[in-house]
């Protein structure tokens, strides 16, 4: 019998997600899961900021500082909350997955979002502060405009690929067709957005000033 080649999750999840999630299904949540979740939180914070950069007057140091303080916590908490949501939804439709398996899908499936940090680093090296304080569609120098556009498009592509990986992961661990896995992913995201909205309201009431108001 030919021995099975070892699985390298971080490398193979990009193109062979089903194999990776089958392998991870037998493993507990580990340090890499949490690091990926934290990196996703930083990446999501920066992408969210970029979409609202025209409404903000924060300095680059403030943006980076906030992303490093808020992003990791938000990323880990977000993956934990979504693992609860998807675990419950999966059970409702007859799936038989553990919370660890769902956490793996969300953490490793979000590897492309974590990879956006590399793009942010490259953009900062190439165009400096403009990477964070200039909107992608702004009227700026041609080189800066190109870098901003390329980075923005690459971020969207990686975000889309993350969705694909997570859908394939849910299909694998729950035994669903891809179409049903897509529906599950969409429903979970909607519930997650509602949960985040009410959580933000609660934090704003209990801890005034923590959640920023409109500019």
pLDDT digits (tens, 9 = 90+) for 123-154: 999 998 888 887 777 777 888 889 999 999 99
pLDDT, residue 156, reads 94
Does some domain include residue 77?
A: yes
pLDDT, residue 55, reads 53
215 token code pair: 């500019």
CA distances from 213 to 17, 34, 192, 198, 200 (A): 40, 30, 21, 15, 11
Axis crossing angle, helix 178-206 with helix 142-174, rounded to the nearest 10: 110
How many domains are contained in the chain?
1
Does some domain include residue 30?
A: yes
Does some domain include residue 46?
A: yes
pLDDT, residue 197, reads 78
Q: Which residue segment(s) compose the domain that 112 sits in?
A: 18-197
Strands (E) across the chain are located at none
Q: What is the 8-class DSSP label of residue 2?
A: P
**φ, ψ at 142 (rounded to 5°):** -55, -45
124 token code pair: 């900062």
CA distances from 207 to 17, 193, 197 (A): 41, 20, 15
Does some domain include residue 167?
A: yes
Does some domain include residue 10?
A: no
Tens digit of pLDDT per residue, the chain (215 long)?
445 678 889 999 999 999 999 999 989 999 999 999 999 999 998 888 877 765 556 778 888 888 898 889 989 999 999 999 999 998 888 778 889 999 999 999 999 999 999 999 999 999 988 888 877 777 778 888 899 999 999 999 999 999 999 999 999 999 989 999 999 999 999 998 888 777 767 766 765 544 444 44
- For CA atoms 162, 48, 36, 105, give the dihedral sign: negative
pLDDT, residue 214, reads 45
Exposed/middle/buried for residue 7 (C-beta within 10 Å: 0-12, 13-18, 19+):
middle
pTM of the model: 0.87
Does some domain include residue 215?
A: no
């Amino acid at each position: 019998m030919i021995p099975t080649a070892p699985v390298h999750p971080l490398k193979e999840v990009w193109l062979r997600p089903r194999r990776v999630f089958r392998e991870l299904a037998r493993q507990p949540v580990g340090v890499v899961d949490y690091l990926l979740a934290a990196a996703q939180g930083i990446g999501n914070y920066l992408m969210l900021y970029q979409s609202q950069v025209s409404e903000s007057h924060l300095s680059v140091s403030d943006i980076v500082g906030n992303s490093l303080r808020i992003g990791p916590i938000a990323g880990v908490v977000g993956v934990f909350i979504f693992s609860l949501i998807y675990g419950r939804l999966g059970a409702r439709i007859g799936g038989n997955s553990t919370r660890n398996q769902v956490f793996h899908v969300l953490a490793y499936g979000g590897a492309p979002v974590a990879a956006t940090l590399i793009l942010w680093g490259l953009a900062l090296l190439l165009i400096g502060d403009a990477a964070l304080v200039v909107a992608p569609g702004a009227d700026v120098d041609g080189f800066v405009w190109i870098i901003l556009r390329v980075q923005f498009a690459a971020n969207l592509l990686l975000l889309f690929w993350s969705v694909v990986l997570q859908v394939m992961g849910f299909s694998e661990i729950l035994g669903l067709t891809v179409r049903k896995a897509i529906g599950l992913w969409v429903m979970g995201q909607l519930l997650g957005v509602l949960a985040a909205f009410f959580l933000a309201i609660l934090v704003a009431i209990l801890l005034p000033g923590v959640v920023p108001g409109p500019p």
